Every structure is written in structure tokens, then in C-alpha cells.
């Protein structure tokens, strides 16, 4: 990979140790002749990543998600350093980043491209989601009634607490908690998972990546609320459909050369393949 000459830092200073970690990494970058800029604002302001070669995000997955849209627009890789909890996206730990950071700056990293979803209504600009687009009633206590179409073909009417439209990357996030499938990040698919559906046979549906999905409110007097990666909230008035499709651009993520997706999944989800009891009792 190309060596990094200009590096932006995005630091979530609310995370314990994040600012100190950023200071140490900035010192290493400067010692390697790298020009740096930094911000603690997120979501990252438009233009904040212009004219840099990469962006180092220090925080949790939420911080990483808040930078994804701007990094995709600029097509620069994100280097995620975990100072949160699970850290599926921030694949470098605070411990191993120091032994690898100089190598990363020299271009010794692998690039992994992740698909995103774009959602659009006639009332709001296009928004990008690295994880998911969640549709719920704008009043939390109300049940959602929506009609879903795939390439103009009617799928079904959902009566549920909400719908989660997820990328493969987002399959380890909210949709996993709602009973959705784990999907390899390189799979070219879009998943739809209902939240607490009133019909027990309503389960996740996997669509091809070129699908165009449309969500129409079956009860227009009860407005919908759309959350994009947990940040952007769009209120949709009566008669305004939501369209969801895979975005044309993908997000480049810088990962260690020996990165293993399943190693991350095993570690984060605490898979061990063992038995709960003593093997002698089996």
C-alpha cells in the first residue's frame, strides 16, 4: 500500500485514555515525517478529511461510524483504534497499535472495502450507513405498520417494533441482537430483519446487493422515524416513501496484514467451541 504522508486524527475524548493514546500516536507519526491534523468533533464536519491520505479514529465503533460517510466520500482508509467496548470496526487495540503503527504509516497494511447503504426520502438528502438503517414509529410506544417492496415487487406488510436494513458489516451490530444472521463482510448482500414481529414466521430476508428497497407507511397518520447508523434521525411524514439501496462507493478500512475476520468474531462474541460441562461427562 501507499505510504501515509498526511494523517488526520479523530479522537473521542470521552473515552478513557483516548487523548493520551492520540498524543503518543501523533508523536510517532511526526517522528516518521507524517503531517497531521486532528479533531474531536464527530460526526466529522464536511471537508475535514480533504487532502489527507488516511484517518486514524480513536474511540469505539460509534466514533468509527460517525467518520465513515466522510471517509467514503474522500475515499481514504480509516485506521480504527479501539477505546470502546466490543470494537468490531476499530480492529487495532490500544496495546498492539504501538508495535504496528510505524509499519502502517509506511504502507504495510491491507485494505478491506466495506459496502454501505444509502437511504433517501423526498424530504431529506441521501444518507450513508456503514452498519444499518433502522425504521421505527416516531412514537416509541406505537407499533410500526409498513409495506416493503423489492424492485417494485411487494414483499409483505410488516407489523412490528421496527425494521433493520443491514450491510454485512452491520450484521454484528443491532441486527444480531434482533436475531439476524451473521454475514461475511465481503458478501454482496443486504439483509432485512424485523424487530419483534407480530407474525412469528417473519424472519430475516437476504437480498442481492443490486436490490432497490422501498418502505411505505401503511398508516400515514403515524409518522416513521429513520435512524442511520444510530446517528442521523429522519422523520418521514405521511405518504413519503423511504428508498434503500447499496451505495456506489465503498469504505476502505486499513487493517493489519494478518487480519482475520473470524478471529475477530470468535474473540468479540466469545466463541470457544467447547462444552459447558466437563468433557469427561460427555
Residues annotated as part of the active site:
61
In whole angstroms, give the CA distance from residue 223 to residue 214: 16
CA dihedral over 136, 137, 142, 144, signed as positive or negative? negative
Q: Give the residue ranges of DSSP H helices in the chain.
A: 18-31, 61-74, 97-105, 174-177, 261-268
CB contact set of 213 (below 8 Å; sequence gap of 6+): 148, 149, 150, 165, 190, 192, 207, 243, 244, 245
Pairing relation of β-strands 232-236 and 224-228?
antiparallel
Name residue 93's beta-bridge partners. 82
User: How would you list the strands of the sheet with 224-228, edge to edge?
Assistant: 205-208, 189-195, 162-166, 132-137, 224-228, 232-236
Alpha-carbon distance of 266 to 43, in angstroms, equals 30
Cell numbers for 112:
478491506
Cα–Cα distance, 231 to 80 (Å, whole number): 19
* Cα separation, 70 vs 60, whole angstroms: 17
Amino acid at each position: 500500500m501507499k505510504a501515509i504522508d498526511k494523517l488526520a486524527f479523530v479522537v473521542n475524548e470521552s473515552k478513557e485514555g483516548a487523548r493520551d493514546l492520540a498524543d503518543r500516536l501523533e508523536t510517532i507519526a511526526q517522528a516518521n515525517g507524517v503531517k497531521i491534523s486532528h479533531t474531536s468533533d464527530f460526526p466529522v464536519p464536511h471537508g475535514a478529511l480533504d487532502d489527507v491520505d488516511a484517518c486514524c479514529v480513536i474511540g469505539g465503533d460509534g466514533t468509527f461510524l460517525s467518520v465513515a460517510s466522510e471517509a467514503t466520500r474522500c475515499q481514504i482508509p480509516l485506521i480504527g483504534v479501539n477505546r470502546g467496548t466490543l470494537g468490531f470496526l476499530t480492529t487495532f487495540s490500544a496495546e498492539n497499535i504501538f508495535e504496528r503503527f510505524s509499519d502502517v504509516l509506511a504502507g504495510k497494511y491491507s485494505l478491506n472495502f466495506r459496502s454501505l447503504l444509502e437511504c433517501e426520502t423526498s424530504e431529506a438528502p441521501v444518507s450513508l450507513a456503514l452498519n444499518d438503517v433502522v425504521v421505527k414509529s416516531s412514537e416509541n410506544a406505537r407499533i410500526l405498520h409498513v409495506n416493503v417492496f423489492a424492485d417494485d415487487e411487494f414483499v409483505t406488510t410488516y407489523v412490528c417494533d421496527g425494521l433493520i436494513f443491514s450491510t454485512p458489516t452491520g450484521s454484528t451490530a443491532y441486527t444480531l441482537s434482533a436475531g439476524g444472521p451473521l454475514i461475511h463482510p465481503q458478501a454482496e448482500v443486504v439483509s432485512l430483519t424485523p424487530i419483534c414481529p407480530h407474525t412469528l414466521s417473519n424472519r430475516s430476508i437476504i437480498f442481492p446487493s443490486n436490490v432497490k428497497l422501498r418502505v411505505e407507511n401503511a398508516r400515514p397518520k403515524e409518522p416513521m422515524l429513520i435512524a442511520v447508523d444510530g446517528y442521523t434521525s429522519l422523520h418521514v411524514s405521511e405518504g413519503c416513501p423511504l428508498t434503500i439501496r447499496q451505495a456506489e462507493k465503498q469504505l476502505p478500512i486499513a487493517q493489519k496484514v494478518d487480519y482475520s475476520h473470524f478471529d475477530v468474531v470468535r474473540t468479540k462474541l466469545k466463541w470457544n467451541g467447547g462444552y459447558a460441562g466437563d468433557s469427561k461427562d460427555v
